[in-house]
Structure formats: structure tokens, C-alpha cells
């Protein structure tokens, strides 16, 4: 068994050499390789053997054995062939899907920059151990869960854990931190660096990471689906009926003083006749045909019984970003200081984003998508880069035809910080008016209202300044507020109609998102989910099992849901329908990959929008009939 990983960071002091190769080898032997997905030895053999545990299969194999012993070898052979055909078809479909995934994994070799033997080395991710010091830069995949020791303008994409499309800001903070994706000083395996640089010490590796916990659950055998449960119950019913009927026939014939051997032969023939020997093969062939038909529509079926569940869902839990929405931030509005439409803040923000160096954020991309020809009339003089304390970025530009050598400092960033630096605001016809307390309060109310609507807001301000050699953050004062830019991730064009169609078919839609409740509520209004009941991830953490069962039924939105939450207690004594809702609802705090282990059907879409991805988790009610339009 692997040792528990408890590596921690209490000091910003870096070892000058990192681990030696010998120390790293000892830790690798102690903690195991840094592989989040555990390898299941003999997994396919176990999968194959499990297919023989179907009660109908057991009855048919027993009947074929008895027939062979009694000399009816042809009948026995036919039964065995039918059973094997059904099992082979089912197994081959699963085997091919898993092999395709393994081939993809083998073609990807991930590396990381590690401080080892006194120098930075490029090592395979599997060789990283707890305590290693790793270097992160734009484009890197984070190799393990780690705490930042140094950082500079570091942004990390955590969509794999949170579903949030916007990169998260990260900075070095020393001391303990809650091991969740929203911790600013922690970076996690499965995430990627969008911009900036950082140095971090590895805390946990492999299956001990947040991503590893998800991967560990993925290799577990899926929960039995309603379709499989129905077949098993039907098989047990046939088995019991055949067993007692055979005993009854033998007892009656013996009471009538019939020949014992003939009575046994008659009972076996009756057992074989009562058993639907074609059912396993017909089931497998029918499901396989469904998988082939879905493959023609670019849908891969990894688990054949999921096809029937697809038409029987009554609860559909959907990710928000990139599934219900397009997954791309777009400019929603450009407003002046008092909320009136204005092109001025966009014109200035375009210059700021155009001349900004480094990897641009999704908000910069949205700004630059609004092409402007007048930006070519300016040239860049200097840049005051973004940092976490200021939460803004400034660009100094100069007009190509400028004769008085006057420059324009353009600042965009968090409204609350920029507003404090503004002494005036721009009104109609570019009139500059001085801010008084009343005007500033009104302006503050504008961006607070935009934020309450679930929009991301940037403030844009500027200042005319004398040209000089270099500029610094000290020059960001006495600014004039040009206005605000509001951004949103709009819903897909067909989301509203799809949700309405699901509602008509008796399917409830529940939204799972890492965004806050304001963003989630705004989206619900846009897609036709009126007056949603919203529950936060931290509220779920403190709920008892009975309370959670009730909330899972009543709530339609689970916001601020992250991975790493504990799984539901299978021993919960709710009704089967409530319990199935619970299993599909409690793990809303986990990533889709982990959640799909708890519901009856996991659906992952590719190529369905600009983000080319979408995740769904479906639950079926016990005894619930298929939807009218699956």
C-alpha cells in the first residue's frame, strides 16, 4: 500500500539543489509513480467473467451441461453458442472502447520542469514525488497538486475541476490553505497555466491528488443501471420459477410412481423450454445495433446498457459552461459612467488589449473581436503590467500624428480599484466632469448592478500624460473614467428550446456549475428556468443525508461546485427514487467524470459548440417509463 502523502510548505525558502536523484528514487518507491489513474490488472478478464454472472446465463449453462450429460449434445451446443454470442458481442463493444482510450493515452507523454540535483530538468510526470520543486510557465500542464512558493501574473485554467471557463488567478501565500480549487496559493493536477510564471512545491501526487481521486473512481465498476437491474431481476424470477417447477414436476411424477430417470429428463426439458435462451443474444444484438446507429451520428457508446437508460431518464444534470452556454466570453455591453450606451470605453479598451503583451485573457479576446480601424493610428510607448495587488493593467500610447508629445495612459481592470483612482468622468460629447460623492456613488451602483446580473465587468479609465522614458504604477492616478465593459458567456441558441422539450417529456434539468449563484440565476432566466432554487457547494458540505435527499429533489441549480467532495453514503435510507436523485445530486460538487459514476447515464458531447464539449449526468427513476422522445 502506498504511503500517505503529507508534504507541506511552511517556508518560502527554496532548497538550492532540490532533491538528489537518490532521494527522489527513495520517495518514488515510498509514494509510487505520479499517475492519477490506477492500473487495474486483469480488468478485462474480470469484465468478461462478470458477464457470465447473469442469472439467465447461469440457467442456460446449467441446462446445457445437463443436456450434454444426458447425451443431447446438439441441444447443449446450440445453447452454449447462443450464450457465447451474446457475451462476446457485449464484451467486444466494451473492449474496443477501452482500447481506443488506452491508445490515446499512450501517445501522450507529459513532462514537467523539476529542480533535481541542483539544476532544472525536464522529467516525465510519473517521476515527480511529494516535496519536489517544479517550475510553471504559460502553456504548462500542472504536474501535481502543489503550493506556490513564487508567482508572477499567474493564471491557471481549472475547467477540468470546476467547469469554470475563466482562468483563476493564483499567487504565492505561505501557510495552510483549504485544499480546494478556489485556494489562491494552490495549483492542481489536471489544470494548465494560461499566463504568468510560478515555482511550486509538490504536496501530493498520483491518486492522492484531487484529480487522482476522480480518476480512482473512474476505474471502479459502474453502478448497476436500471436496465441491467431489470434483466437481473427477471433472470432471478425465471431461475426461481424453473427451480421450484422442476422440483414440483419431479415430486408429482415420483408420487405417481413414474420412472425417475424419465421424470428428470422431462423436468430438464421443461426447464430449457421455459428459459428464454435467445434473450441474452437478442439483448446484446439489439443494443449493439443501437450503438452502431449512434456511431453513425458520431456518438460513442462505451457501455451498451446505457442506450436503454438514455431513453428513460427523468433527471438531466448538466454542466453550464460550454454545454448550456457557448463557452466563450462575449462583450455584452459598453456603457459610460452612468450606464448609458457608449462606444468610448470599448475604443480605449481595444487599444489597451491590442498593445498588451503576454497571453491574453478571454476578456481581451472578446474585446479584440470588435475590430476597430482607428487603433492603427496609435503606437505603444510603455506598459504597466497586471499584478494581483492592483488588479489592473495600463498601456501608454501615443498618436502617430502627435506634435505635442502628449501620451495617453489607458487603464482597464477591476472597477472597485479603478474607481478609487478616478477624479473625473467623461460625459456626453467627451465633456470631462469632476467626480463628487453623489456621482461616484451612482457610478459604483452601476457596476454593482451589472455584477448582480452575473456579468463580468471591467472599468476603463485614462489620463493624458507627458511623454517620458518609462512609466510605473505611480502614474496611475487622477484618472478619468470612460465607462464599463460587461461580458457574458451567452447560452447556446438551442438551449431554451431543448430545455422546453425535455420539460414536455417529463425530464427535469438541474444545472451544475462552478460559477457563483448570480451567474447561474441569470443563465436560468435566459434559458427558461424560472425561479430556480439554488444551492451552494459549501451548503451541501454541512447537510445531513436526509436533508440532502430533500434538497436534491427541490433544488434546480448547484452553484460553486468543485471536485474533491466526499461521495454520498450508499446506506442512506431514502426511497429508491429519492436515493437515485441523491446519487445524481450530491456529487454535483465533483467534476463530471466523477459524477458520472453516481448517476445512471453519463453523456459527454464533443463538437457541439465553440468550446467543443459538454457534460451531462442523467438519473432514472425506478420504474420510470422511457421518455416520448429519447
Residue 568 pLDDT exceeds 50: no
Helices and strands counted in the chain (H then E): 20, 21
Q: Residue 49: in which H helix or E strand, if any?
A: helix 43-50
Query: What is the pLDDT confidence band of residue 585, given thresholds at 50, 70 and 90?
Result: very low
User: Phi/psi of residue 19, each to 5°?
Assistant: -75, 150
Residue 201 vs residue 224, higher pLDDT:
201
Residue 1 pLDDT exceeds 70: no
CATH fold of the domain at 311-327+492-619: Rossmann fold (3.40.50)
Tens-digit pLDDT profile for residues 528-559: 888 889 888 778 777 777 887 788 888 888 88
Query: Which of 9-23, 226-240, 438-452, 549-563 ranks highest by mean pLDDT?
Result: 438-452
Query: Which of 148-157, 425-434, 435-444, 448-457 ranks highest by mean pLDDT?
Result: 435-444
Distance, in Å, from the CA atom of 204 to the CA atom of 219, rounded to the nearest integer, reads 20
Residue carrying the nine cell digits 504536496: 203
Closest C-alpha to 572, from 562, 564, 560, 580: 580
Residue 414 pLDDT exceeds 80: yes
Q: Are strands 456-466 and 534-536 parallel, antiparallel or unpaired?
A: unpaired
Distance, in Å, from the CA atom of 445 to the CA atom of 510, rounded to the nearest integer, reads 32
Grid cell, residue 175, equals: 501557510
Distance, in Å, from the CA atom of 446 to the CA atom of 342, rounded to the nearest integer, reads 14
Would you tell me how many other CB atoms lie within 10 Å of the CB of residue 132?
A: 26
Under 8 Å between Cβ of 366 and 380: no
Under 8 Å between Cβ of 315 and 584: yes
Query: What is the pLDDT confidence band of residue 625, given thresholds at 50, 70 and 90?
Result: very low
Three-state SS at 408: strand
**For position 165, what pLDDT does the model report?**
66
**For position 593, what pLDDT does the model report?**
42
Residue 567 pLDDT exceeds 60: no
**For position 278, what pLDDT does the model report?**
66
Query: What is the pLDDT confidence band of residue 104, given thresholds at 50, 70 and 90?
Result: low
- Indicate the domain borders of the chain: 43-105+223-279, 110-218, 311-327+492-619, 330-488
Query: What is the pLDDT confidence band of residue 247, given thresholds at 50, 70 and 90?
Result: confident
Distance, in Å, from the CA atom of 24 to the CA atom of 29, rounded to the nearest integer, reads 9
Residue 9 vs residue 372, higher pLDDT:
372
**For position 569, what pLDDT does the model report?**
38
Grid cell, residue 212, equals: 487522482
Distance, CA of 242 to chain centre? 47
Average pLDDT over residues 211-233: 71
Three-state SS at 137: strand
Q: Residue 484: in which H helix or E strand, if any?
A: strand 479-488
Residue 64 vs residue 457, higher pLDDT:
457
Task: Please confirm, yes or no, whether 319 is among the known catalytic residues.
Answer: yes
Residue 226: burial class (beta carbons within 10 Å; 0-12, 13-18, 19+): buried
Distance, CA of 427 to chain centre? 44
CATH of 110-218, one of 3.40.50.300, 2.30.130.10, 2.70.150.10, 3.40.190.170: 2.70.150.10
> Of the ranges 200-214, 297-311, 462-476, which one carries the lowest mean pLDDT score?
297-311
Average pLDDT over residues 314-326: 81
**For position 589, what pLDDT does the model report?**
34
DSSP character string of 54-105: -HHHHHHHHHHHHHHHTT-HHHHHHHHHHHHHHHHHHHHHHHHHHHHHHHHH
**For position 570, what pLDDT does the model report?**
36
Closest C-alpha to 112, from 145, 159, 154, 158: 145
Average pLDDT over residues 302-321: 76
With a CB cutoff of 8 Å and minimum separation 6, the contacts of 528 are: 496, 499, 500
Distance, CA of 606 to chain centre? 13
Closest C-alpha to 27, from 177, 189, 201, 193: 201
Is 330-488 a domain of CATH 3.40.1110.10?
yes
Distance, in Å, from the CA atom of 97 to the CA atom of 504, rounded to the nearest integer, reads 34
User: Is pTM beyond 0.85 here?
Assistant: no
Q: What angle do helix axes 260-274 and 55-69 make, rounded to 10 degrees?
A: 140
Q: What is the mean pLDDT of the chain?
A: 77
Grid cell, residue 512, equals: 451544475
The β-bridge partners of 198 are: 136, 151
- Say whether 311-327+492-619 and 110-218 share the same fold: no
Query: What is the pLDDT confidence band of residue 482, given thresholds at 50, 70 and 90?
Result: very high
**Straight-line distance from the first to the last Cα atom of the chain, in angstroms, rounded to the nearest whole number:** 45
User: Phi/psi of residue 405, each to 5°?
Assistant: 60, 30
Would you tell me how many other CB atoms lie within 10 Å of the CB of residue 176?
A: 12
With a CB cutoff of 8 Å and minimum separation 6, the contacts of 373 are: none
Helices (H), 356-494: 362-368, 415-421, 437-452
pLDDT > 90 fraction of the chain, expressed in percent and rounded: 21
What are the angstrom distances between the C-alpha of 384 and each of 136, 154, 393, 441, 493? 23, 16, 6, 28, 39
Q: Which of 319, 336, 364, 489 is catalytic?
A: 319
Average pLDDT over residues 42-70: 73
Residue 337 pLDDT exceeds 90: yes
Amino acid at each position: 500500500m502506498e504511503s500517505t502523502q503529507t508534504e507541506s510548505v511552511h517556508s518560502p525558502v527554496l532548497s538550492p539543489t532540490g532533491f538528489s536523484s537518490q532521494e527522489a528514487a527513495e520517495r518514488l518507491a515510498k509514494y509510487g509513480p505520479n499517475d492519477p489513474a490506477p492500473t487495474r490488472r486483469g480488468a478485462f478478464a474480470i469484465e468478461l467473467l462478470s458477464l457470465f454472472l447473469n442469472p439467465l446465463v447461469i440457467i442456460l449453462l446449467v441446462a446445457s451441461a445437463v443436456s450434454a450429460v444426458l447425451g443431447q449434445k446438439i441441444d447443449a451446443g446450440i445453447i452454449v453458442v447462443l450464450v457465447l454470442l451474446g457475451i462476446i458481442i457485449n464484451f467486444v463493444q466494451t473492449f474496443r472502447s477501452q482500447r481506443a482510450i488506452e491508445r490515446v493515452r499512450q501517445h501522450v507523454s507529459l513532462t514537467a520542469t523539476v529542480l533535481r540535483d541542483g539544476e532544472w530538468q525536464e522529467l516525465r510526470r510519473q517521476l515527480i514525488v511529494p516535496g519536489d520543486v517544479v517550475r510553471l510557465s504559460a502553456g504548462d500542464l500542472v504536474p501535481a497538486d502543489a503550493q506556490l512558493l513564487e508567482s508572477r501574473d499567474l493564471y491557471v485554467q481549472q475547467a477540468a475541476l470546476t467547469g469554470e471557463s475563466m482562468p483563476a488567478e493564483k499567487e504565492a501565500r505561505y501557510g495552510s490553505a483549504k485544499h480546494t480549487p478556489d485556494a489562491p496559493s494552490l495549483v492542481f493536477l489536471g489544470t494548465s497555466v494560461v499566463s504568468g510564471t510560478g515555482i511550486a512545491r509538490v504536496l501530493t501526487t498520483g491518486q492522492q491528488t484531487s484529480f487522482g481521486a476522480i480518476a480512482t473512481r473512474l476505474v471502479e465498476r459502474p453502478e448497476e443501471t436500471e436496465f441491467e437491474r431489470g434483466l437481473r431481476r427477471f433472470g432471478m424470477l425465471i431461475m426461481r420459477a424453473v427451480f421450484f417447477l422442476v422440483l414440483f414436476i419431479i415430486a408429482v411424477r415420483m408420487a405417481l410412481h413414474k420412472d425417475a430417470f424419465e421424470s428428470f429428463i422431462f423436468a430438464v426439458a421443461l426447464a430449457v423450454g421455459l428459459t428464454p435462451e435467445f434473450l441474452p443474444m437478442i439483448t446484446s444484438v439489439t443494443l449493439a445495433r443501437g450503438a452502431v446507429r449512434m456511431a453513425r451520428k458520431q456518438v460513442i457508446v462505451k457501455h451498451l446498457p446505457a442506450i436503454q437508460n438514455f431513453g428513460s431518464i427523468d433527471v438531466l444534470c448538466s454542466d453550464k459552461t460550454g454545454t448550456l452556454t457557448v463557452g466563450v466570453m462575449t462583450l455584452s455591453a459598453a456603457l459610460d459612467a452612468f450606464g448609458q450606451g457608449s462606444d468610448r470605453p470599448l475604443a480605449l479598451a481595444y487599444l489597451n488589449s491590442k498593445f498588451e503583451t503576454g497571453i491574453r485573457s478571454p476578456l481581451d479576446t472578446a474585446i479584440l473581436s470588435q475590430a476597430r480601424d482607428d487603433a492603427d493610428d496609435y503606437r505603444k510607448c510603455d506598459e504597466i503590467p497586471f499584478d494581483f495587488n492592483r488588479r489592473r493593467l495600463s498601456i501608454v500610447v501615443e498618436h502617430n500624428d502627435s506634435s505635442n508629445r502628449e501620451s495617453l495612459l489607458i487603464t482597464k481592470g477591476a472597477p472597485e480599484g479603478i474607481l478609487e483612482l478616478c477624479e473625473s468622468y467623461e460625459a456626453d460629447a467627451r465633456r470631462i466632469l469632476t467626480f463628487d460623492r453623489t456621482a461616484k456613488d451612482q457610478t459604483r451602483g452601476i457596476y454593482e448592478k451589472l455584477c448582480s446580473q452575473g456579468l463580468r465587468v471591467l472599468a476603463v479609465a485614462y489620463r493624458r500624460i507627458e511623454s517620458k522614458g518609462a512609466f510605473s504604477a505611480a502614474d496611475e492616478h487622477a484618472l478619468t473614467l470612460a465607462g464599463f465593459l460587461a461580458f457574458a458567456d451567452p447560452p447556446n441558441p438551442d438551449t431554451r428550446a431543448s430545455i422546453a422539450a425535455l420539460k414536455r417529456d417529463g425530464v427535469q434539468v438541474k444545472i451544475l456549475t462552478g460559477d457563483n449563484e448570480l451567474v447561474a440565476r441569470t443563465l436560468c432566466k435566459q434559458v427558461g428556468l424560472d425561479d430556480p432554487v439554488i444551492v451552494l457547494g459549501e451548503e451541501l458540505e454541512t447537510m445531513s443525508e436526509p436533508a440532502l435527499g430533500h434538497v436534491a429533489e427541490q433544488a434546480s441549480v448547484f452553484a460553486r461546485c468543485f471536485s474533491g467532495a466526499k461521495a454520498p453514503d450508499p446506506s442512506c435510507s431514502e426511497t429508491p427514487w429519492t436515493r437515485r436523485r441523491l446519487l445524481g445530486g450530491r456529487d454535483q460538487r465533483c467534476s463530471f467524470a466523477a459524477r458520472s459514476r453516481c448517476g445512471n447515464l453519463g453523456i459527454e458531447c464533443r463538437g457541439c459548440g465553440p468550446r467543443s464539449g459538454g457534460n451531462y449526468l442523467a438519473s432514472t427513476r425506478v420504474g420510470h417509463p422511457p421518455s416520448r422522445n429519447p
